[in-house]
Amino acid sequence: MANSDTLLPQSLFHSNNAKLTAILTLLDASSNGLIVLDTKRRFLSLNQAACNIFNASAETLLGQDMLTLVMGKEHEIASYLVMPSGHWSCLVVCPGEEEREIECTHTTEIVDGQPCIMILVRDVTETQRLLQKTEVLTQFAATMTYATSLEGTLDALSRSVVKTTGLMACLIPLISGNPLQFRVVGSYGLPDGYAASLGQLVQMGTHPPTLQAFRERRTIVARGIRERNLADPSYAPVHEQLQHVAWDTVVCIPLIYRGASLGVFTAYYPPDMEPTKGELVFLSTIADQAAIAVKNAQLLLEAQDKAALVERQRLARELHDSVSQALYGIVLGVQSARTFIETDKEHAIKSIDYVLSLAKACHTEMRALIFALRPESLETEGLVAAITKHAAAVCERYEVPVEVSLCEEPNIPLAIKEILYRITQEALHNIVKHAHARHVCLLLQQKSDGVVLEIQDDGVGFDPTSNFHGHLGLHSMRERVNQGQGKLEIHSTLGGGTCIRVYLPTPIQQV
């Protein structure tokens, strides 16, 4: 280093200056680093903790411009360092291309009559990684609450884990049945066709680490797996994809829910990255959460199947009580008209008129039932139009006035609209069948945090504290509201009518 560029005595480029040595000695026992720069930002001295943070010896760093280690904020850090004091953070690249995040507090001091910059350095790399992992879990919890599909949830989880931990890829398959079925419900970073080929391996009877973790219900860490699989003829279905990947270590963690193995969370590590104990704990936590998401999706599917069965049974009762009876009346009317067409025309005409009235009623019933079964307008025209049409059908069919007060089309997912529509349908069905109401009010409002549906009638009412005994429709409403993470309130008194109020929160939009 040329002496003409040196603002401080040459002795200050070593740690033998008395003042600097005293300061560095005091801080050598600390995990925080202390570095001393000249006014050109060159290292004059640093303690052992600073050497550890920068992963370099003092001899390597002395005389070097600190900004050569900084990533992306060189001009910003340079502007900080000309100030008398300050607090800032940045990324630095240490020998071996390792990136670390540091927080720094600096002050300007006079040593031997010359200004120098003293910087207290703290390595926050692991802290930031921990915060990122916590954020992954937080986002995943929110996604689980409002997810529209299991695949969407676990794809997002896989992407977040890869970007947070530095993994190369993630794969989450569900495994079940005999013969084994291999269904991918989440992945990120895998080459095209790899997941399908891995499933083919399982069906062929090959025993990859993924299947071992599933069957043995324990974490499997497989090292050197790429070269080993390329040399194994039984892995031929994945040889083409393995030619284009660099991962070398695979961690497979079973998805366990109440003792049952549902699938496997698989993490793919690059050759220069070894899974640490902390990483395995984090990935195990992720696998546990993924298992809960899978089980919740299975339970939801079962509930939907049950709800579909209940709906089919209700429609069957409706068909039997209305359309089937009307068709039977039409048959009797036609037979009567045929009998008297020649001998008693007046009676025959009355029979035909009766048949026409039954046919019109049957047509109305069928339109209502078909709309109840497949409300196409819910998707094409929106929730407001669907509720309006259904309310009009109830008025026409049962001659019960329904007063509607609806907001503009709410900006909510179709699944939430379906819940609100079905609850409206069920509530109006209960009113016309049981309440003997003379008037119904239906209100729909969109709030800043959700949607409110309110249905009120002036019917006979009931005791809402009876745990819905005999009111299967109310059970169905509560299940639907729970599905939407909402709240159901029922207020009713005998002879005083009923008010049903539903609140469904607006789902968090995933980016």
pLDDT per position as a tens digit, 22-35: 555 555 556 688 88
Which tens digits make up the pLDDT trace of 2-23?
A: 333 333 333 334 444 555 555 5
Return the residue matching tokens 């050759």: 271
Please state, in angstroms and rounded to a whole number, the distance separating the CA atoms of residues 136 and 163. 10
What is the three-class DSSP state of 128? helix
Instruction: Give CA 371 to chain center in angstroms.
Output: 32
Q: How confident is the model at residue 159 (pLDDT cuts 50, 70, 90)?
A: confident
As given in the structure block, the two tokens for residue 29 are 């026992």
275: pLDDT strictly greater than 90: no
Q: How confident is the model at residue 404 (pLDDT cuts 50, 70, 90)?
A: very high
Give the pLDDT score at 363.
67
Residue 219, classified by CB atoms within 10 Å of its CB into exposed (0-12), middle (13-18) or buried (19+), is: middle
193: pLDDT strictly greater than 60: yes
Using alpha carbons only, give the angle 34, 52, 167 rounded to the nearest 5 degrees: 125
Q: How confident is the model at residue 251 (pLDDT cuts 50, 70, 90)?
A: very high
Please state, in angstroms and rounded to a whole number, the distance separating the CA atoms of residues 25 and 34. 10
Q: Which of 196-200, 299-303, 364-368 has the highest mean pLDDT?
A: 196-200
Per DSSP, 201 falls in state: H
Average pLDDT over residues 412-421: 87
DSSP string, 127-186: HHHHHHHHHHHHHHHHHHHH-S-HHHHHHHHHHHHHHHH--SEEEEEEEETTTTEEEEEE
Pair 47, 34: CB distance under 8 Å: yes
